[in-house]
Amino acid sequence: MLKRAALLGTIAIVSATAWTAAYRLTAFTRIVAAELERATALAELTPRPQTTIVYDRHGQLAFTFFVEQRIDVTLDQISPVMIQALLAVEDQRFFNHNGLDAVRIGAAAWRNIRARRIIQGGSTITQQLARAAHLSPKRTFERKLREAMIASRLEQRYSKREILEAYLNTVYFGEGLYGVEAASRGYFGKSASDLQVEEAALLAAIVRAPSHDAPGVSPARATARRNLVLRLMRDQGTLPEAEFATAAARPLPEGPRHGDLAGGSDPTNAVGAYFREDLRRQLVAQFGNERVLRGGLRVYSTYDPVLQKAAEQAIAGRITQIAKARRQAKDLQGSLVSVDAHTGDVLALVGGRDFASSSFNRATQARRQAGSAFKPILYAAALERGYSPATILTSLDAPIGTGSETWLPSGEHEASQYTIRRALQVSSNRAAAQLMQQIGTTTTIYYAQRLGIHSTLPVVPSLALGTGEVTLLELTAAYTAFANKGTASSPRLFTRVEGSDGTAIFHNVKRQTRALSEETAYMMSSMMADVISSGTATGVRAAGFKLPAAGKTGTTDDYSDAWFIGYTPRVVTGVWFGLDTPSPIMARGFGGTVAVPAWATFMKAATAGHKAEWFEMPSSVEKVAICRLSGARASPSCQHQYIPAEVPVGSMSVVTAGYPAVVQGLPPSEPPVYEEIFSVGALSSELCPLHSPQPPYGGIPGDPTTIATQPAASTTPMVDAELRRAGVRRERVIGSDGITRVVIRKNPH
């Protein structure tokens, strides 16, 4: 009975065990099937995040944008020694197995059994690719099973070359560098196609444990691992003994060269940080954040690294100089924009004194009052409306009506009248205000918009003095019209964008607008050249800048903003200084004092090697000798500084009989004749009525008959002033013969 019970118990136990085993086998089979199904889905060589590369204007690497610093390349673009080094240390039987290497697995299993834990994986390159692309790095038997299944599926689906190429573009090499191309550029500053054998051996050596073996972590371990790879290559017959000895003796690179890959290990401290960030914003707005950070775009920018460095040094140096003289200026900020006059390409962009402290870009984001740097826009609008550099603005000491009130601007250089040229040269506020009253505020704003000013400008009389708030970038771009024959060029930071495969996906063509006539641009350049030669920007020459140039200073109330926008025929550069919370920069901190020295310092570097060239005078512009007294075309007699006794208006004759003698000695403070430029046809062809010698008047000698006498209006207001100083007056006289004459008489004492 007991035997029977024991037998039944044994049968029950065996049955239960069998059923349990069958259940577990079924469950395991289901798990394996599920893993195989998952492995099939995962066994895809999907694109990994790619680094977007930005090239400078010379085609050299400047910046990168990335989630992972990776630059995919084909196997043919990788040095053969890199492939040999990798296979020597990671998978020497790569081309002979189907994803799993039985020899390596057996050896690794024996070591793991002896250690009673997993200390060696025995993974092939295919398995490592499966792990890097899809699995956790944690060492477990479950992960190893999945790894083997995915590797098997990869081998079925892809060729060995495809797997090897994907591996070399995927694995991590330390220092934030993914893939062999990024690693090669990051460590050695060269492409993976140019790797030398000792460099390739180092990269292959650190793949196993980059956080442990990278040269930046432990140079000693990195050297030992590199030399191990070199020995393996020698032993496997891919590296001759002599080359092995030479390669093993070479030192490691001094350190990761991130500057060659990403524009600096810390982008916030790198040269060009403001340019880089503004470019990133534009690219994200155009293509989206995902595509910029992961899409591997190739961006061809307008960035000039040499000029950028010079720009940053010019701004930082000037801030240091000012801060030494005025402690309160320790928080002074400065910005600079330099653009190609003909294309609008932004060559250098500085948005502040320190990007790491403040990423706010004062060149593109800050809107500040432009002061007198806005005046050239007003004067250009006047020239477009028929004014000329010789046009005289009078009654400048008369208040301007503004509704129920009157307004008379103050300034450093004010007089009762100026020519337009002189008014711009000395930056007269009253002349600017008077001129805008004549041409209209809306006309001024219209031309500002044509020149590329997109900021909203106030419709107020003080706009003539630059009370409208603009950015440095848009004001600098507006000046390109003066340097480019009246054509304004919109600023651009890049010219084209390509996909990671080199296919062009966007062309940022230059955008240009005919904003002014060619003759207006030429006359404005002529007038602004005077600003530098003898006006408010003479500091340009004092600072050592010698090339022909033009420009305009700008200063706002309380000296809280200092500007200078200047240009040569090739380069337009704008500079601004101020505090983020507007307050005086320094006592009498004019644009000519604060901003001009930085502009000159930068432009000496920006124009190095440029020839001394100036704008060719258009055929629609003529240069005319002008009599300073009359404002008319000068005659040869104007040089002799005398005025005939009387000049008949009808015949312009000099009267020699019956009228007072010649009045001598108008003492002009400047040469009596000067040259000025006009649009052809804008100035009358008649010669000066005061000095032109004419045939004698055929009247009766001694005939003093006068039918009527009345004061005569002068040809120009400047004549009135000179006549008053000389103690004479002009009268319009109608003689007995009916001819009206202009008579100059001495005033009674």
- pLDDT per residue as tens digits for the range 79-91: 999 999 999 988 8
Q: What is the 3-state secondary structure (H, E, C) of 229-245?
A: HHHHHHHCCCCCHHHHH
Report pLDDT for 708: 38
83 shares its domain with 229: yes
Q: Is the pLDDT confidence value at 448 over 90? A: yes
Number of domains present in the structure of the chain? 4
CA distance 438 to 372: 18
Q: What is the rounded average pLDDT of the residues 217-231?
A: 92
Cβ–Cβ contacts within 10 Å for residue 506, how many?
16
pTM, entire model? 0.77
101 shares its domain with 191: yes
152 shares its domain with 205: yes
Report pLDDT for 266: 46
Identify which of 531, 595, 557 has the alpha carbon closest to the alpha carbon of residue 332.
595
91 shares its domain with 217: yes
658 shares its domain with 734: yes
CA distance 672 to 718: 12
Note down the domain range covering 107. Answer: 73-262
| Position 334 in a domain | no
87 shares its domain with 231: yes
CA distance 72 to 181: 7
CA distance 375 to 185: 50
Q: What is the rounded average pLDDT of the residues 292-298?
A: 93
Q: Which of the pair, 647 or 334, is modelled with greater confidence? A: 334
Confidence bin at 264 (pLDDT 50/70/90): very low
Catalytic residue among 90, 199, 312, 474: 90
Report the CATH number that the domain containing residue 400 is assigned in CATH. 3.40.710.10
Q: Which of the pair, 129 or 161, is modelled with greater confidence? A: 161
162 shares its domain with 257: yes
Q: Is the pLDDT confidence value at 268 over 60? A: no
| Position 476 in a domain | no
Q: What is the rounded average pLDDT of the residues 514-541?
A: 96
Q: Which of the pair, 126 or 608, is modelled with greater confidence? A: 608
172 shares its domain with 87: yes
CB 508 within 8 A of CB 301: no
**Which of 234, 262, 290 is where one domain is finished?**
262
Residue with tokens 């191990």: 228
| Position 103 in a domain | yes
422: left (phi over 0), alpha (psi -120 to 50) or beta: alpha
| Position 161 in a domain | yes
3-class SS at 255?
A: coil
Q: What is the rounded average pLDDT of the residues 273-290?
A: 94
| Position 267 in a domain | no
101 shares its domain with 236: yes
- Helices 197-206 and 219-235 cross at an angle (nearest 10°) of 110
90 is catalytic: yes
95 shares its domain with 135: yes
77 shares its domain with 32: no
Percentage above 90 pLDDT, the chain: 54
Q: What is the rounded average pLDDT of the residues 162-174?
A: 90
Q: What is the rounded average pLDDT of the residues 166-175?
A: 89
Confidence bin at 658 (pLDDT 50/70/90): very low
Q: Is the pLDDT confidence value at 710 over 50? A: no
Mean pLDDT of all residues in the chain? Answer: 82
Confidence bin at 639 (pLDDT 50/70/90): confident
- Helices 125-134 and 141-157 cross at an angle (nearest 10°) of 110
Residue with tokens 């680094």: 51
Catalytic residue among 79, 301, 372, 692: 372
Identify which of 402, 500, 379, 670 has the alpha carbon closest to the alpha carbon of residue 49.
500
| Position 233 in a domain | yes
Report pLDDT for 348: 98
| Position 353 in a domain | no
CB 626 within 8 A of CB 674: yes
395 shares its domain with 246: no
Lowest mean pLDDT among 242-246, 336-340, 342-346: 242-246
Percentage above 70 pLDDT, the chain: 76
Most confident of 131-140, 209-218, 655-664: 209-218
**Which of 213, 243, 262 is where one domain is finished?**
262
3-class SS at 502?
A: coil
Q: Is the pLDDT confidence value at 234 over 70? A: yes
| Position 554 in a domain | no
Task: Output phi, psi for 690, to 5 deg.
Answer: -90, -30
- Token pair listed for 527: 């007038």
**Which of 262, 290, 307 is where one domain is finished?**
262
Report the CATH number that the domain containing residue 94 is assigned in CATH. 1.10.3810.10
The counts of H helices and E strands in the chain are 26, 28
